[in-house]
Amino acid sequence: KQEVTQIPAALSVPEGENLVLNCSFTDSAIYNLQWFRQDPGKGLTSLLLIQSSQREQTSGRLNASLDKSSGRSTLYIAASQPGDSATYLCASQTSGSRLTFGEGTQLTVNP
Amino acid sequence: DAMVIQNPRYQVTQFGKPVTLSCSQTLNHNVMYWYQQKSSQAPKLLFHYYDKDFNNEADTPDNFQSRRPNTSFCFLDIRSPGLGDAAMYLCATSRDWGGNEQYFGPGTRLTVT
């Protein structure tokens, strides 16, 4: 059974700092790895999806990498802004289309 | 513009009173999913439909049922809500089964009093 872990559970940084969020998974037989953003009390917004054959994906200030062999993914946020404050969830897709989520990293960017 | 729509956004029900949550999609996707997310926890898959084929996760309580009358709509029925069923319920769709990106709706926050 796939297990997904995210470290740290919470992170507080000053505005402008570059930061890295970590995601690890136990079963490397994944279709893809997806990063989501969740604002308090809201649904999930997809940020980046990395297919199993890819090493990384970029969108604006976000860069996600995938290392299947070690069971790790990272989300890099450049020049963080207060508007980036949210919970970031990673999810691996295995066994058909099932998404297994981590419990998220709660990010606070202080002005 | 909205692709996956959930209604209502907030639902309050009484202990034991049946409740139905609604999801619709404009993407014409074959697969629709329901996830449950309790406070500060990871979303958990309850079940999914591939077209009209229903697939229940092994640990989904019998209290939860689902209907998909057509491609666009999917409903989550909670027959006798308990306090432990208070959660955010997320609907998602994907074009097909197996490695396709999932698109999520805004969620329905369910409160049980």
Query: Cβ separation of B45 and A99 shorter than 8 Å?
Result: yes
Mean pLDDT of A37-59: 93
**Tens-binned pLDDT, residue by residue, of chain B (113 aa):** 669 999 999 999 999 999 999 999 999 999 999 999 999 899 999 999 999 999 988 899 999 999 999 999 999 999 999 999 999 999 999 999 877 889 999 999 999 99
- CB within 8 Å of A93: residues ≥ 6 apart: A30, A31, A32, A33, A34, A99, A100, B99, B102
Mean pLDDT of A13-25: 97
Q: What is the pLDDT of residue B43?
A: 94
Q: How far is CA A83 from CA A55, A109, A110, B37, B73, in A?
A: 27, 8, 10, 23, 33
CA-to-CA distance for B66 and B60, rounded, in angstroms? 11
Edge-to-edge strands of the sheet including A19-25?
A: A4-7, A19-25, A72-77, A62-67, A56-59
Q: Is the pLDDT of residue A23 over 90?
A: yes
Q: Measured between CB atoms, does B56 come within 8 Å of chain A?
A: no
Q: What is the pLDDT of residue A94?
A: 85
A92 CA: distance to closest CA in chain B (Å): 10
- CB within 8 Å of B60: residues ≥ 6 apart: B46, B47
Q: Which residue has the tokens 């993914």?
A: A73
Q: What is the pLDDT of residue A48?
A: 95
Q: What is the pLDDT of residue B2?
A: 64
Q: What is the pLDDT of residue A98?
A: 83
Residues of chain B positioned with their CB less than 8 A from the CB of A44:
43, 90, 104, 107
Mean pLDDT of A54-59: 96
CA-to-CA distance for A22 and B17, rounded, in angstroms? 41
Question: Around Cβ B98, how many Cβ atoms within 10 Å?
Answer: 11
Q: Read off the pLDDT band of A67 (50, 70, 90).
A: very high
Mean pLDDT of A15-33: 95
Q: What is the pLDDT of residue B1?
A: 65
Q: Is the pLDDT of residue A41 over 90?
A: no
Q: Measured between CB atoms, does B105 come within 8 Å of chain A?
A: yes
Q: What is the pLDDT of residue B40?
A: 86
Nearest CA in chain B to A89: B42
CA-to-CA distance for A81 and A59, rounded, in angstroms? 15
DSSP state of A82: G
Tokens standing for B9? Answer: 């956004």
